[in-house]
Amino acid sequence: MFDRVLITSGPTVEPIDPVRYISNRSSGKTGFHIANEAKKRNISEIIFITGPTCYLPSEVRCIKVETAMEMRARVFENIENVSVVIMVAAVSDYKTPTYFPHKIKKNSEKMTLELEKNPDILLEIGIKKKDNQILVGFAAETENIFENGKRKLAEKNMDLLVLNEISKSNPGFNVDTNEVYFLTPGEIKKLPRMNKSDIAVNVWDKIFDIARDKKIYERQF
C-alpha cells in the first residue's frame, strides 16, 4: 500500500480582468473518482489539489486553487515523500502576463490578448522524480494522438499516461464516461468505453502493477 499520494484535478482558471478568465471544460469528475478509489484502497494520506469544481471527495485533504501558478506552488509544497503523483488536472497552457484591474471596455472592433506560457508542472515533477516514485499523467489530444502521447510520456518522465482522444463521440471533458488508452514505455493498451469511476479502478490497478514491476514497496504485496 502507498502511504502518501498526490492527485490534481479540475481545470485551472487564468484571470484576464475582474469578470473574465481563460479556462477549459474539465469538470473535475475524473480526479474525484481517482481520489475516491484511492480511499477505497486505504491509502493513508491523499492530497487533492484542485481547480474550481464542485466534485470534491469527502474525508480527503482538499487544497483549492485557481491558477496554474497556484497549483504549481501547492504541488511543490506537498510533494515531499509522495509515492504516487497523478496529474489529472487540465492545467491552462497559457496565462495573461497582465491582469487588467478594471473590466476591459469594448471600444474597438478587434482586440488582441497577449498570452504567455505557464510552467509545465508535470514536466518539472518528471525531472525531479525519484526511483521509488510513480508518476501518472493524463493527456487530451485531438490529432496524432499516439505520436503526441508517446512524446509527452517520454518528455515528462511518466510511468503511465492516460490518453483520451477528444472527439464528438468521445468528448472526455465534463461527461460521465470516457474511452482511454494506457501508454507506458513500450506498450499501448486501449480500454473500452467505461464510467469514469471504472477508469479510476483501472488506473489504480495499473499503478499497483507498475509498483510491483519497479519493485517498489515489495514487502506490501
Catalytic sites, residue numbers: 24
Q: How far apart are CA 56 and CA 153, in angstroms?
A: 28
φ, ψ of residue 100 in degrees (nearest 5): -85, 120
The binding track of 55-84 with respect to ligand PMT, each residue x by CB under 6 A or -, is -------------x----------------
Kindly state whether residue 142 participates in binding ligand PMT, applying the rule CB under 6 A. no
**From the CB of residue 192, how many other CB atoms can be counted at a distance below 10 Å?**
7
* Closer Cβ to ligand PMT, 160 or 211, answer by number: 160
* Binding to ligand PMT in span 98-117, by CB under 6 A: none
Kindly state whether residue 164 participates in binding ligand PMT, applying the rule CB under 6 A. yes
Q: How far apart are CA 85 and CA 136, in angstroms?
A: 6
List 13, 121, 200, 207, residue binding ligand PMT (CB under 6 A): 121
Dihedral angle at the C-alpha atoms of 146, 14, 46, 217, nearest 10 degrees? 40
Kindly state whether residue 118 participates in binding ligand PMT, applying the rule CB under 6 A. yes
Q: How far apart are CA 168 and CA 7, in angstroms?
A: 28
Kindly state whether residue 7 participates in binding ligand PMT, applying the rule CB under 6 A. no
Distant-in-sequence, close-in-space partners of 165: CB < 8 Å, separation ≥ 6: 141, 142, 145, 172, 179, 181
Kindly state whether residue 173 participates in binding ligand PMT, applying the rule CB under 6 A. yes
Footprint on this chain of ligand PMT (rule: CB under 6 A): 26-30, 68, 87-91, 93, 118, 120-122, 137-140, 152, 164, 172-174, 196
